[in-house]
C-alpha cells in the first residue's frame, strides 16, 4: 500500500501530484481495485485505466463529478495541480465566493472528514443529521417521535439501561405515521438493509417470522431478524460478519418493537 493514507491528510498528500497519482492515492485509501472503483463511481473501467496510466489527463466533467462524489472531495482536487502545503483555510475559501467564517475547530472537523474512508463518512454524516435534528426548530409536514439513542454499545449490542431518549422531528410520510418510536442503529450487523447511524422507525407490534425487530435479551438490546427455528428462537444478523444469537431457554427475552423502515430527519 505504500503510504499510510487512512491517517494522512488526503488533500495535502495530493499536493503537486498529477491526476493519475491522486487517483491511485484514493484507491489505496479506500482499498479499491480498479473494477471496484468503476462499480462504485459509475465511471467506465476503460476510462479509469486511461486516467491511472496517465493517458487521460483532462477527463470529462461527468467523470470528475462522479469521482468527487464517491470520495467526498471537491472537484478541484481532481482538476488542479495545487502546491503542496498550501494552507487549509486558503484551499477552502477558494471554493466559495466569500471567505468562510469558520473557527479553527470547524476547520479541523472538515479536514478530519476528508481523511475518513467513504464508509466512515457515511456513518458520521448520518449521525450528524440525527443530532442536528434535535436542535432544529419545528417545521411543517413533520412528525415528532421519541428516539432512543445508545450511549454505550459494543459488539453489535446495547445495554438497555444505557439508552437515552430524545424527541426528534422527522419528515411526514407513511413510514413516520406507522412509527410509535425511533431508534438510532448502532453497528453494521443489519447491513446491507440498514447501516450504522441510520434512524429506524419502529411500531410496538411484536416482530413476526423473518421480520426485523428490536429485542431485549438478558438486559442487552439487539436489532435483528426474528426467526423461529427448531429448538427455539434465533436473532439473525444480515451481515455475515456477525454471529446469529440463539435465545436460550430461561433467558429474559422480549420484543420491544418491529422495524417498519428508515426515517428522514428534518
The cell for 223 is 436489532
CA distance 213 to 210: 9
CA distance 226 to 257: 11
Q: With contact defined as beta carbons under 8 Å apart, do 101 and 80 qualify?
A: no
Give per-residue pLDDT as tens, 123-162: 777 777 766 765 665 555 678 888 887 644 455 555 555 5
Give per-residue pLDDT as tens, 25-43: 888 888 888 998 888 888 9
Q: How many other C-beta atoms are found inside a 10 Å radius of the C-beta of residue 81?
A: 13
The pLDDT value given to residue 230? 86
Phi/psi-derived region of residue 160, left when phi > 0, alpha when psi is between -120 and 50, beta in every other case:
alpha
Q: How many other C-beta atoms are found inside a 10 Å radius of the C-beta of residue 168?
A: 23
CA distance 186 to 181: 16
Assess whether the previous peptide bond of 139 is cis (omega < 30° from 0): no
Is the pLDDT assigned to residue 199 strictly greater than 80?
A: yes
Question: Which residues does 215 contact at the CB level (< 8 Å), separation at least 6?
Answer: 207, 221, 222, 223, 224, 226, 235, 253, 254, 255, 256
Q: Please tell me which residue, 53 or 7, carries the higher pLDDT value.
A: 53
What integer is the mean pLDDT of 191-197?
90
- Integer-rounded Cα radius of gyration of the chain: 22
What integer is the mean pLDDT of 109-121?
74
**Unique residue bearing C-alpha cell 438486559:** 219
β-strand partners of 201: 182, 261
The pLDDT value given to residue 82? 45
Is the pLDDT assigned to residue 192 strictly greater than 60?
A: yes
What is this structure's pTM?
0.48
Q: Please tell me which residue, 48 or 83, carries the higher pLDDT value.
A: 48
Is the pLDDT assigned to residue 220 strictly greater than 80?
A: yes
Is the pLDDT assigned to residue 89 strictly greater than 50?
A: no
β-strand partners of 223: 214
Is the pLDDT assigned to residue 259 strictly greater than 80?
A: yes
Amino acid at each position: 500500500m505504500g503510504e499510510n493514507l487512512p491517517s494522512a491528510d488526503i488533500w495535502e498528500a495530493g499536493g503537486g501530484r498529477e491526476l493519475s497519482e491522486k487517483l491511485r492515492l484514493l484507491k489505496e485509501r479506500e482499498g479499491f481495485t480498479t473494477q471496484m472503483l468503476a462499480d462504485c463511481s459509475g465511471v467506465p473501467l476503460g476510462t479509469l485505466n486511461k486516467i491511472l496510466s496517465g493517458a487521460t489527463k483532462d477527463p470529462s466533467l461527468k467523470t470528475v463529478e462522479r469521482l468527487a462524489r464517491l470520495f467526498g472531495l471537491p472537484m478541484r482536487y481532481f482538476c488542479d495541480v495545487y502546491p503542496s502545503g498550501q494552507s487549509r483555510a486558503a484551499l477552502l475559501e477558494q471554493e466559495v465566493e466569500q471567505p468562510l467564517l469558520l473557527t479553527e475547530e470547524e476547520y479541523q472537523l472538515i479536514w478530519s472528514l476528508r481523511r475518513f474512508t467513504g464508509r466512515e463518512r457515511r456513518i458520521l454524516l448520518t449521525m450528524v443529521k440525527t443530532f442536528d435534528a434535535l436542535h432544529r426548530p419545528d417545521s411543517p409536514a413533520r412528525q415528532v417521535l421519541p428516539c432512543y439513542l445508545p450511549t454505550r454499545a459494543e459488539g453489535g449490542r446495547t445495554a438497555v439501561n444505557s439508552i437515552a431518549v430524545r424527541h426528534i422531528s422527522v419528515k411526514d410520510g407513511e413510514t413516520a405515521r406507522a412509527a410509535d418510536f425511533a431508534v438510532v442503529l448502532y453497528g453494521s450487523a443489519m447491513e446491507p438493509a440498514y447501516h450504522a447511524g441510520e434512524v429506524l422507525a419502529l411500531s410496538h407490534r411484536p416482530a413476526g417470522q423473518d421480520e426485523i425487530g428490536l429485542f431485549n435479551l438478558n438486559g442487552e438490546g439487539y436489532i435483528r431478524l426474528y426467526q423461529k427455528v427448531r429448538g427455539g428462537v434465533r436473532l439473525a444478523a444480515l451481515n455475515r460478519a456477525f454471529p446469529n444469537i440463539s435465545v436460550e431457554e430461561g433467558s429474559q427475552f422480549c420484543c420491544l418493537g418491529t422495524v417498519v423502515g428508515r426515517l428522514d430527519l428534518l
